[in-house]
Structure 1
């Protein structure tokens, strides 16, 4: 079995942060979202991986390289235009050949991984298998209708009147039958080759399409709220112990689960975990509240931050209350005077002066 990771999207819902970087490389708990996907694929015993890339190809190549540090062998596949998930499969056919494959959307976070569904697919080998989860608002997703045995009867993309509450997650498994299906479908009204249409073609052609229902944690990190929610989830679930590899002075107080990376410094500050502070970061005279990730080489001085992600090389100075914020790379946030809580979504290389 091979894997196909889709990482060609432009991240329009995460702008301005993604104007200068790939959305799949925005970190949660100081690790790019894409890396969690690659780790999950490796854990599923799949090593031959194609990554479909677009405008941010160079950034993704630099971050992932040949994949060897994940235990993977990575091939890069260019998708020149964002013409749909099925189109991404189509442009990857030379890499995929006639092999079975697992397709993983690179901006999705699946808390329980994909090893279980990959093992199930290997045993049964239906033409397609999709991962589903119950959601409160199915109209925002592809929605599956199942029969009594769990086989997929129909799929509909963002239906006005959903036939179930089961949303299609960003994980799919296919035999080579999917290539025939993609050749038979036409672009949708939005001009894209939809993978849901290809799977529906398989169903109508009498092929075996199965599902696995997940009750674990899952998010599509395409917007700021979901990105922050994944950051909270990862910090809650993986920052297990209090680990201090950097320097923390005697006037600072660390409570809860806090990871201070090598080369980081904490001076006269209060850190309330779960929190991660990246290499080379400096926190002085500040409070870093729960569910916050401070990336490498940041400088936080005289400020209060919680439930936020601060990307690498950024400076926050004399800002009394930042919450539920995503601050881009090499950004400067400086407060003129103390004020009320600020909520920020800032692009890279930005400077903001806050006044109350």
Structure 2
């Protein structure tokens, strides 16, 4: 399975902060926002990753992450000239996807919780169909909503419904088989002129090939698309890291734990940031700092 991070858009809800920079490059406490979705793909054991962004921002991502080889992964880049909907990622990324299955994650979503990795690995092992996630919220009217049965079979999908059939929102993390490319190409634009991820998921639903994985209590899904969302996410990451001493979305640590890089390579990466707490954490993981 391969992975796509969709890091495009105008970030207009965050103006003037995002007037001159991509939203997904903003800091969430001690790391750029894009580290968090990238960490989810790496935790899914996905090594081939495509980052899609606006033409004016793509070089910033290349400067930050290069080709990914320092982390034992492969990162490629593709330009999306203008936002055309989330499902457009599969059309833009068609050549990259090839004949593989694909995971799409939005660049402004942050996930954290015990038992997350087994859920990711289960979703990443799909043979056919699609897997989405469900997260209980108190304000489902503001999200895409999924209704499902006790076996995780999806019964209905609604986009920001006036009368939601459940309280489970759909976070921006999706796993699909290779049929997703042709399905995305066949979608008709919505009233706002975009090809919608909800319509794509409905195609799988009509074929009875759409499953949902529920993220239960004690799990955090943070949307960073507003001022408060940015601040809350930074506070959350800071609190967890300071209290536990364990870092969220430390890419170097994940690469090392996945055995994609050696201890010597981990130490080298840590020394690049040794004047920071982030670098000191990497060196501690490598056993250099006690």
Shift of the alpha carbon at 1:86? 0.6
Shift of the alpha carbon at 1:240? 4.3
- In structure 2, runs of 5+ residues without a counterpart are 246-272, 281-290
Structure 1's consecutive aligned runs of 4 or more residues displaced over 4 angstroms after TM superposition are 261-264, 276-279
The answer to whether the 8 A contact 2:126-2:177 is kept is: no
Report SS of the residue matched to 1:239: helix
Query: In the alignment, which of 139, 144, 147 is matched to residue 145 of structure 1?
Result: 147
Deviations 1:309-339 (A, max 9, x none): xxxxxxxxxxxxxxxxxxxxxxxxxxxxxxx
Shift of the alpha carbon at 1:104? 0.8
Structure 2 CA distance for partners of 1:70 and 1:140, relative to 1, 3 Å: farther
The answer to whether the 8 A contact 2:106-2:172 is kept is: yes
Greater strand share, structure number:
1
Match of 1:6 in 2: 6
Shift of the alpha carbon at 1:31? 0.6
Query: In the alignment, which of 234, 239, 247 is matched to residue 236 of structure 1?
Result: 239
Structure 2 CA distance for partners of 1:27 and 1:148, relative to 1, 3 Å: same
The answer to whether the 8 A contact 2:224-2:230 is kept is: yes
What is the root-mean-square deviation of aligned Cα atoms in Å?
2.3
Report SS of the residue matched to 2:18: helix
Q: Give the distance between the partners of 1:128 and 1:277, measured in 2 at CA.
A: 36
With normalisation by structure 2, the TM-score equals 0.80
Larger mean CA deviation between 177-186 and 47-56 belongs to 177-186
Q: Give the distance between the partners of 1:120 and 1:277, measured in 2 at CA.
A: 30
Match of 1:76 in 2: 77
Shift of the alpha carbon at 1:278? 11
Shift of the alpha carbon at 1:123? 4.4
Q: Give the distance between the partners of 2:10 and 2:81, measured in 1 at CA.
A: 12
Match of 1:176 in 2: 178
Q: Give the distance between the partners of 1:124 and 1:234, measured in 2 at CA.
A: 30
| Paired positions, count | 249
Structure 2 CA distance for partners of 1:159 and 1:20, relative to 1, 3 Å: same
Larger relative contact order (C-alpha < 8 A, sep ≥ 6)? 2
- In structure 1, runs of 5+ residues without a counterpart are 243-260, 265-275, 280-356
Q: Give the distance between the partners of 2:74 and 2:4, measured in 1 at CA.
A: 12
Shift of the alpha carbon at 1:277? 10
Report SS of the residue matched to 1:18: coil
The answer to whether the 8 A contact 1:101-1:175 is kept is: yes
